[in-house]
Structure formats: structure tokens, C-alpha cells
Amino acid sequence: MNPAMRAKRRSFLLLLLLTTLWAGLVLRLWWIQIAATHHFSAHDIDLVKSAVKQRQQSIMLNTGRGEILDRHGRSFTGVEQQALLLFPLAKGRDDLEEALARVAHIVHQPEAALLRTLQQAKTPVLLRDEEGKVVPLGEQQAKAVNELHLPGILALPVTERYPPDGVAKHVIGYVNRNPDIIRQAYEPEWKEGKMTLDSMVGASGLERSFDRFLQGVEPSILSYYVDGSGAPLQGLNVRYNRQDNAFYPLSLVTTLDRDIQQRMEEIADHNGIREGSIVVLDAKTGDVIAMVSRPSFDQTKVEVAGGAWQNHALKQLPPGSVFKTVVAAAALAEGTVSPTERFFCDGEYGKYGFSCWRKEGHGWLTMDEAFAQSCNVTFAQIAKRVGGEKIEEYARRLGLAAPVGHLSPQLFKLADFRQFDGEEAGSVFADGAPHSDEGVLIQTAIGQRDVRMTPLQAANMMVTILRGGTPGTVRIVSDITYRNGVTFHHFAPQLLETEGIDRVTAYKLQRLLANVVSDEDGTGSMLQHAAWTVAGKSGTAQTASAGAQLYHQWFVGYAPVKEPRYAIAVVVENQPANRSHLATAVFAQVVGALAAQSAKSDEPHAGSSPE
């Protein structure tokens, strides 16, 4: 081939390459701008909506999700109130100071506070006070603000789902955008266009476990559409979408008491509990009255990796001597030990370096006394007699080997629907651990090694004992209701699918638990001066933390002893070895608060005559 022909061939190939590239570019632009505008890339991005959002300033006034209420109908997820909304576009007004002065006069707030809020805003914001709470407006104030017709400044009804001063945050949980959950749990709705990958879904707590019921109407959003300079576009300056449906969204009626919940959280924070939990159950029904978890977290800015959002009341921990309740139940029910049988403790046991917490030993003492004084050596001897198989069996009978939260096997085609999100099961022996090995057995007897239970299970164990040995599940939601208050579904109380313990053994355990407090040498003797008479069991469990000797402190019990109202579990995690038993002190404060609340509730109403 001569040079001229080669030159022509190169020119042709270059032209062909350029033509191919141009055609590919045109095809790509066609695909992006026309064919795939609503479903671009593997992430299913809606390019039209994304383009609109670039020129949109919006704020959510109501999520559209159902409310979560306490047993008296008080909301945990915010109440509707008139509030002042400030959009950044208002910063460009020539008469800004004059406008803010007029608004400040109406809402009774300093003009400087409005100006500062507006200047700092990069997105639409609500006017808040120094504590971060939304400044509420009266109907007349809201009307007066809106009659000013100030672009970017107006008043509307707002329901803040997670207010800064909210309580029961771990129980309620939070919502976020999670495309994976949408694809897995809501595939039909997603494919039908009823949900997008941007839809908010429950991520933890009741928001997650009841997400399908709380998913309701579209959220109410106020939007301004602006041009490149931030000025409102004519004809598109305000879009306000507010849903009004008499039946939806559905609401949850929980078994919680908001007043008691708030008081329990105050006690936890006052005592500086950085990690731990408080669980208060109704002693008769097993319903959750209050459930506190620490550390706390911000539901609007969740650091998922940090883990503060996890509910510690549902997480399994080594219970320490609280587990001696199970060993005692097995020994008494099987007739292995009599409550009055005597044992000797010299502070040491066997060849494993196993010792009693009282280094010099307890000397001679009965089983009753050994339980009250939490003698490790005595319970090592008792556990050896009872055997690992029986200890594991009675843990199961007392509801410590499986989740205890209310379970609906088939709830509107939802298989095995559990009310508690993330509840752990608990255990006695690890898989493959030899149940009959003496070294394993004596550590198990005192709630160490592989023994795990959740604070919720521990409190429910007290309810089981008070119920005469019949184990039941724990409810935290009693009803799902329509928006108008009519019941959509009722969760009836239910028993656990496991055999319990006999009434005689349950009665003997009640006596043992009472002696822990009434015995002058009992580990709970400091509770003798509590507002109500108390029965219960303390526990101190060493953790596996590296580099530090830390302990989980427990006190689990009930009050008052003669007519029990509440079963309670208090756990303070990761405490130094030389720290006093904070869990017992907190338990006393919890009982005091419950006694005060009960006295308040029992007071005759104004105008009524005493009996």
C-alpha cells in the first residue's frame, strides 16, 4: 500500500472513531435526559427530582407517620403547634430589619434572635429558644405574621417528631433513608412507585418494628422554589402539602406512662449513669411502664457507628449474682436443697482459684442466709448438686433463654412479628461448653462465664415469680388505632411457650428475695429504708474489658412486697471495682419515685369526697 492510500485509511479510521464517540455521547445524553430521567444508574436516581431540589428550599412540617402514644394518649412523637418558619431567601430583603422588627413584635421575641437565626440559616429553620425548643405561637400570632405577606417568613402548624426534650428515645427509635430496607422490605411498593429509595423508614425501636403500620400518608412539606440568585420563582414560590385523612396514619398506644418514664430518665441522669438501663414493669401484667437506656442520643442526628441508639435494656449482659435466683429455683423445685440446710464458706472453693466476695468467708450459714448474703461458695456447692442441665432448664422456665417480648406469629401476613426491635435472647452455656465440668459449673452458678440475660428478661423473671411461676411475654404496645381513635388491632396479653415453675417454689423464691433486704447482713439491706418494702437480688458481674477491671452492677426486684405493683431492673454498666453499688442506690430512688407517683394517682380528685 502506497503512502497516499495509508494516509486515506488513517483519515477514515480517525473519522470513524470520532463519529462513534459522538454517537455514543449523543446516546448517553439521550439516555440521561430522556430515557432514564426517573431511574438513573444502579442507585435508581430520579434526575428530574434532583434537578428540582437544587432550586428548592423546603422544610418538613409533619412526617406523615403515625403517632406513638403513652397509655394515657400523650404523644412521644410531638404535638402540633403553630411555629415561625424562616427561609434563607428572606436574607436578601432590602427592608429586612423593618420586617423582622414587625415579626418580633408579634411573636414576643427579640429582633436580634430572629436576625441571628436567619443569618445562620443555610436551610429553612424553625424559630427556637435557647434550650432548642420550638417557640410556640398562638393562633392570633400566626394569623398576624401571615397577614404581613413576607416571602420567606411565615407561621404554620408544625409537628416536630423528635423534639429536643423528648423522652423514651431508645424505645421510640428513629427513622432515616435506607435504600436497602426499601428494596428488601418494601419491594412491591417500590416497584409500584408508592415508595422511592429516598422514603423515610424506621431504623430502630418501635419506628422499625411497627414501620409498616406507622407508614401513613405523604409528609407535609413547605417548599420555596428559587432561581440561581436565591430569589423566589414567580408562580412557584410556595408549595404547601398538608394531608387530612380521618383514618390514616395509624397510631400506636404503648403501655408506657410518660410521667414515670420522664422521672426514671431524670433519676438515671442525676446519678450520672453513662451506660446502663432501668426497666419498670407492671407486676401483674408484665407490661412495660418505663424503659430507660443510656447513653442517650439525638434522634435527628444519629451516629450509627457510635451505637448510642441501641437499647441497653434489650442487650444481654452477664448478670452476676442475680442468676443465683435461677440456681435457687432449680434446687428448691427439684428438692435438692432445703432452705434451712447449712453450708460452710471459708472464702475459697476447689482448685480453680474460685473465691467468695467476702475474702474471710461467711462461715456456717443456711441456704436462706447464703442467698441473702450472696455467698459464692455456697452456691457453687448447690450448683454442683443440681447440675448444669437442670440449671439451664430452670433458666428456660423463668424466661431467660429466649426473647420475652410480645410475639404475634401471624400479624397481617407478617410472620413472627415481635414488638421489640433488637431484643437479644440470653444464654446459660455457650455452644459446646461441658455442662457437668466443675470449673464451668461454679462460674455459671454466680452468673459469670457464659451466662447472659437482658434487663428486660430479669424484670420479667420477677413478674413470673410473682405470678406463681407462670412466665408471660412483655408488651410495650397494647393497641394500634386509627387516627380517629378506633381500634385497628389489639395485642392481648400472652404467656411464653415454655413450662414455668410450681407455685410452692415461686413462693419460696419470694421469701428468699425479701430476705435479701430484710436480713441485716443482706446485700440489699440498704433498701430497708426505701419508700416501699422491697424484695430483690443484687448482682455484680466482671466484664471482659481489656486493660481495666470493670463490673456491671445489677439490682432486680419488686415493690411493695405485700401487694406488688412494679417489677424493676436497674443495671449500671462498666463500673470500677472500688465503686459503691450504684445500682442498689438507684433502685431505692426508683421505688421512691414510683411510690410518690402512686400516692399522687391515688389522691381523690378535687371536689370528690373521701371514702
Considering 119, 137, 159, which residue would you say is the last residue of a domain?
Answer: 159
Mean pLDDT of the region 369-396: 96
Nearest Cα residue to 528 out of 501, 550, 552, 557: 557
Higher-confidence position of 120 and 552: 552
Q: Which helix (H) or strand (E) holds 566?
A: strand 566-576
Give 227-256 pLDDT, tens digit per residue: 555 555 444 344 555 666 778 889 999 999
DSSP-derived secondary structure for 164-199: TT---HHHH--EEE-HHHHHHHSHHHHHTTSS-TT-
**Beta strand residue intervals within 120-173, DSSP E:** 125-126, 136-137, 153-159
219 and 332 in a single domain? The answer is: no
**64 falls in which pLDDT band (50, 70, 90)?**
confident
Is 437 domain-assigned? yes
Residue 111: give its domain's CATH number.
3.90.1310.10
The predicted pLDDT at position 298 comes to 95
The predicted pLDDT at position 194 comes to 72
237 and 313 in a single domain? The answer is: no
**Does the model's pTM come out above 0.95?**
no
Is 442 domain-assigned? yes
The grid coordinates of residue 191 equal 416497584
197 and 222 in a single domain? The answer is: yes
Rounded Cα distance between 270 and 267, Å, is 5
Is 221 domain-assigned? yes
Is 586 domain-assigned? yes
- The catalytic position among 321, 427, 478, 538 is 321
Residue 210: give its domain's CATH number.
3.90.1310
The predicted pLDDT at position 31 comes to 57
Mean pLDDT of the region 35-42: 51
Nearest Cα residue to 61 out of 39, 41, 78, 38: 78
74 and 91 in a single domain? The answer is: no
Per the structure, the count of domains in the chain is 3
417 and 497 in a single domain? The answer is: yes
The parent domain of residue 549 ranges over: 258-299+308-601
Is 29 domain-assigned? no
Is 2 domain-assigned? no
Residue 350: give its domain's CATH number.
3.40.710.10
Cβ atoms of 378 and 347 closer than 8 Å? no
144 and 182 in a single domain? The answer is: no
Give 174-199 pLDDT, tens digit per residue: 998 888 877 877 777 777 777 777 77
Considering 115, 139, 159, which residue would you say is the last residue of a domain?
Answer: 159
Is 502 domain-assigned? yes
Q: Which 3 state secondary structure label does DSSP give 25?
A: helix
pLDDT at 202 > cutoff 80 = yes
Cβ atoms of 478 and 491 closer than 8 Å? yes
Give 482-509 pLDDT, tens digit per residue: 988 899 999 999 999 899 999 999 999 9
- Cβ neighbours of residue 159 under 8 Å, at least 6 residues apart? 61, 62, 63, 77, 78, 79, 80, 81
135 and 175 in a single domain? The answer is: no
525 and 594 in a single domain? The answer is: yes
512 and 572 in a single domain? The answer is: yes
pLDDT at 551 > cutoff 90 = yes
Q: How far is CA 148 from CA 103, 213, 502, in A?
A: 8, 40, 73
321 is catalytic: yes
325 and 405 in a single domain? The answer is: yes
